[in-house]
Chains A and B, each alone.
Chain A
Amino acid sequence: MNKNIVITIIVLFLSVSYVSAQFTVQGVVSDETGMPLPGCHVHYGKTCNITNGDGAFTIEAKALTANLTFTFMGYNSLDTLVRSNSSLDIHMIPSHEMVQEISVKGNRIDTMKSRKNEVVTAEFMAQNLSSTFIKSLERLPGVNAMDIGANASKPIIRGMGFNRVVVSENGVKQEGQQWGADHGLEIDPFNIETAEIVKGASGIEYGSDAIGGYINISNDKVPLPNTVSGEASFLTKSVNATFGASGAVEARGDKHYVKVRASAIDYGDYKVPTDQIIYLDRIVPIYNGRLKNTAGKEYDAYLQYGYLHEAFKSSITISNVYQKSGFFPGAHGVPDADRVKHDGDYRNIDFPYQVANHTKVMSNNKFYFNSGELIADLAYQFNNRQELSEFHTHYGNQSPPEIDPDLELAFRLSTYTANVKYVFKETEKHAISIGSQSQYRDNKVGGYSFLMPQYQSLSTGLFAKDTYTINDKFKMNVGLRFDYSNIDTEAYFDPILYDYFIAKGSSAEEASFYAQRSTELHKDYGDYSWLVGFVYEPANNWITRFNVGKAFRTPTAVELSSNGIHHGSFRHELGNGELDSEKGYYTDANLEFNNSLWSFSVSPYLYYFTNFLYLRPTGEWSSLPHAGQIYAYDQTAAIVSGLELSARRQLGKFSADFTLEYVYNQQVSDDPSQRYPLPFTPPLNGFIEIDYAAFAHSKVLKQSRFFVNTRFASKQENVARNEEVTDGYFSLGAGFSTKVRLSNKEVDLVLQGFNLLDAKYYNHMSFYRQIEIPEQGRNIQLLVKVPF
């Protein structure tokens, strides 16, 4: 990583030594309501001070003038020039349209970025905590969750998921098995301080995979000086008898700080509002309305140590997420009534099940210089996902392995990340940053089954971007990125499969085709992505944005080199070593209006992919047991377009929220009969909530509100070949949330119900949709958060 060193050296030269003190600047930073903002960063030259518990700060200026910059996550940064001893009263203004729970008044919008982002806070997470972090984000228009069971989901943004969305923590891309339908993100739902969600291609800064969007979780908030504080959270759910608890303690002296968190979640089989499912013409009974073997547990631990210096801020984080969850046995193999019989225990995890363990070590560093700041993040992640199923085989000649006889599949992915970014201090006209992102991945596999090849991959991206302020109302964003990556996949020849086909009387050629489960490939990919965007504020409270750009991603090892039955989808999937990198041109726009009574936002978008990678049914039978036709990875021109709407109206104590998402996509072809829709496309869907602010004068209950909401979706008939049409639905929810004031501390209480009508409906994006399993039944949950 020579270039990283070069950048570091350049940056070090940019710093200059300081002169002696000239005057003192004191001040208090508060938010738009006048509440002090502790933990606000006050940048002066190459130092960064942090406001104390009262929002106060003191700076010894060392020159004739002092240029101070105030920054705080979720707020617009603010510059000021001071010439003499002075006492400042700084009011920060929220930069993002926070989701309305946080009852932001006079909320302003980020006028720097041409791509609209949404920020959710720990409070949003508490208010909306659903089964998983991603599921909790579903109320944002344009964000959907692809689920498997109760506790695993991954994001779909603008109808794009898998490797087309990047999720990162503290700027480090989270690596799991994003390509797999039954993989969920390994993230502790209790441990989200703030998260930023960007819809639309965001590849310039966040990595070329971010074609559909980007989610960054920031867990780098610094505790207040000389304090020790903590928080305990408890969660319970009726739908699967969940008991969850999480405890966090953070402490800071002056410069050193530590944050620790441990979480445990245990849940049983979840309830579904049906007593049978009909799959492949077979009736599969659901005993006592509970989906067998969907119980699970999760144990997470998190430790962060940080050091604050005038010239830098540095933290090291170690985290581990362990998830064990059962698969509905009817979902593995041909449906069979015997396997779904109630076993007398709703909390046991029997075969088949998955265990995912994600270990991460991260070092996040920020160095302050007169000319800007250098951000360097290093990380190592180990993702170990295993699927266990009592040894079974379709091949009479296969015997169970001696070690781990029931380990069906194992994926052990090690990822090394190094990101370096230099953010130049904003001038009146420009806000420039440059950086590089490098990643090395090494994937090993195990188990008596085979799904994907072992591979090694190295990728590096270099980027530069600028926000050019043309005038008060008009800004332009430009970005350019070059990515280079290579991938080496390892060959795997399955002698058992070869012998099976020979014994069946197949030719050696045919037997070899099936037995060659993966091929050895050395592929190099390199491409540019770019973005030109505009932000225009035609009037106060109004903002418009417009972007044009190009995005691309490199194919995955599975897309390039796999060959065999994907036991989840029951399909024989065949990789294609000839795939190019997926390229798309996009344009999107956004119009937003915000004041204290009203807000609305409209965001249309359109992508044109020259080669969208997808699985094409070939019209050739596979001879593998239980397989239908072969599905081959292929590329096609395609368009993806859609519209997101959101609106909010405040009316006295009431407020109403409305969001709507529409996605349309299809393959592009001269032949009208080949213009198939793309798979996993969200139907027209939306969310409506009505809130009532209660007990405004209560001394005990603060920010209390009652709410009623509904999530709805229309019928999805735009389906890919061999994807099911899914009916529309309407699901009702309601709840009450408040903060109970107990001796200077506020205890958060959120009681809410989901699917109150116990409606039977299907989620088009759920993994279990394919086998006709409806969504979870009525759920009442209670979350209590006690600070100490």
Chain B
Amino acid sequence: MKCDNIVSHNYLLKNNQTFYIMKKYFLFAVAAMFLVACNNDNDDVDTTKPVIEIIKPVADAGEDHIEFHQGDEFEFEAKFTDNVALKSYKVAIHYNGDGHEHSAVVKSATEEDHVEWDQEWSGDLKEEQEDRVAFLIEVPENAEPGEYHLGVYCFDVAGNESTTWMEIVVEEEGHDH
């Protein structure tokens, strides 16, 4: 920049024609970019997650978990729905170690033949809007007593995934509440 440009001015638009030409040039660029951006309809894209409803087991009113004893057998049933088509489900039971006092070290204080119950079931669902899965779950005789998570997972044909959890508590055989 040269020194003679230094003085500061507040120009107002004197020339409407310049403005018009420039507007045209610029609007063209804007329009071109927006044509690309807006010429997309993603109505065909499915980002809606399937819905999982655990029908059995159900906790008693006011309770946030269900209790079972070692060796018990209970019915599991879930209903899956999706806006397009279902694909696959998974049911998993894991010992709840997260954030609790239970850890590998603490656990060794209980009976040695107890193991953390860790089991999974998975399978395909009908590629339809609704399907159900039901089977029997057996609590192992040697399951470590304590709190477990029963997780139910499901994804649809597009890969949209849902998860839901419930807590189940395993009591020692003969231990009554």
Contacts and interface: CB of A to CB of B under 8 A. Distances in A.
Interface string B18-51: 1101100110011001101110101011110100
A625 B98 CA distance: 11
B30 A589 contact: yes
A625 B94 contact: yes
B61 interface: no
B80 interface: no
Contact of A538 (B22, B29, B96): B22
B131 to A, nearest CB: 16
Given A76-B1, A334-B98, A621-B153, A629 B42 contact: no
Contacts of A516: none
A336 B64 CA distance: 11
Contacts of B155: 617, 619, 628-629
Identify which of A339, A394, A596 gathers the most chain B CB atoms within 10 Å of its CB: A394
A759 to B, nearest CB: 26
B1 A591 contact: no
A280 interface: yes
A721 interface: yes
A666 B30 contact: no
Nearest to A108: B8
A720 B47 CA distance: 7
Interface of A is mostly: loop
B105 interface: yes
A32 B1 contact: no
A602 B95 CA distance: 56
A544 interface: yes
B22 A334 contact: no
Contact of A399 (B22, B45, B104, B118): B104
A217 interface: no
A666 B40 contact: yes
A762 interface: no
A337 B165 CA distance: 13
B8 A393 contact: no
B153 A78 contact: no
B7 A91 contact: yes
A591 B19 CA distance: 12
The residue among B9, B34, B42 with the most chain A CB atoms within 10 A of its own CB is: B42
Most chain B CB within a 10 A radius of its CB, from A391, A396, A399, A722? A396
A392 B104 CA distance: 8
B47 to A, nearest CB: 5
Contacts of B158: 673, 721
Interface string B73-93: 000000000000001101010
Interface stretch (A485-493, A636-644, A696-704, A764-772): A636-644
Nearest to B23: A591
Interface residues of A, number: 81
A396 B164 contact: no
A5 to B, nearest CB: 35
A546 interface: yes
Given A397-B104, A539-B13, A625-B118, A333 B87 contact: no
Contacts of A337: 64
Contacts of B136: none
A587 interface: yes
Interface string A653-666: 00000000000101
A596 B12 CA distance: 10
A606 B30 CA distance: 10
B145 to A, nearest CB: 14
Given A591-B26, A625-B94, A673-B158, A396 B99 contact: no
A644 to B, nearest CB: 12
A400 B101 CA distance: 13
Interface string B149-172: 101010100111101110000000
A718 B37 contact: no
B104 A626 contact: no
Nearest to A640: B37
Q: Which of A32, A335, A641, A719 has the most CB of B within 10 A?
A: A641
Contact of A282 (B37, B105, B165): B165
B3 interface: yes
B33 A606 contact: yes
Residue among B87, B122, B153 with max Cβ neighbours from chain A (10 Å) = B153
A604 B33 CA distance: 7
A605 B33 contact: yes
Contacts of B36: 606, 639, 641
A542 interface: yes
Interface string A315-338: 000000000000001001111111
Contacts of A641: 33-34, 36-37
B109 to A, nearest CB: 14
B33 A629 contact: no
B104 A393 contact: yes
A573 to B, nearest CB: 14
A78 B149 CA distance: 70
B6 A78 contact: yes
A288 interface: no
Contacts of B159: 616-619, 629, 721-722
Given A106-B10, A540-B11, A718 B42 contact: yes
A673 B21 contact: no
Contacts of B64: 337
A376 B151 CA distance: 57
B116 interface: yes
A539 B15 contact: yes
Contacts of B88: 619, 621
A168 to B, nearest CB: 27
B161 A722 contact: yes
Nearest to A664: B37
A123 interface: no
B2 interface: yes
B30 to A, nearest CB: 5
B11 A595 contact: yes
Nearest to A591: B26
B98 A629 contact: no
A675 interface: yes
A93 B8 contact: yes
A186 B119 CA distance: 42
Nearest to B64: A337
Contact of A333 (B37, B40, B98): B98
Contact of A628 (B26, B98, B161): B161
Contact of B3 (A78, A335, A616, A675): A78
A20 interface: no
A643 B104 contact: no
Interface string A600-630: 0010111000000000111101010110110
Contacts of A595: 10-12
A471 interface: no
A723 B165 CA distance: 19
9 contacts: A280-B163, A329-B99, A398-B104, A544-B22, A604-B33, A617-B160, A618-B159, A664-B40, A672-B42
Interface of B: 1-3, 6-15, 18-19, 21-22, 25-26, 29-30, 33-34, 36-38, 40, 42, 44-47, 49, 64, 87-88, 90, 92, 94-100, 102-105, 107, 115-116, 118, 120, 122, 149, 151, 153, 155, 158-161, 163-165
Given A332-B98, A625-B94, A629-B159, 8 more contacts: A79-B1, A333-B99, A334-B98, A389-B99, A541-B13, A542-B22, A628-B153, A666-B45
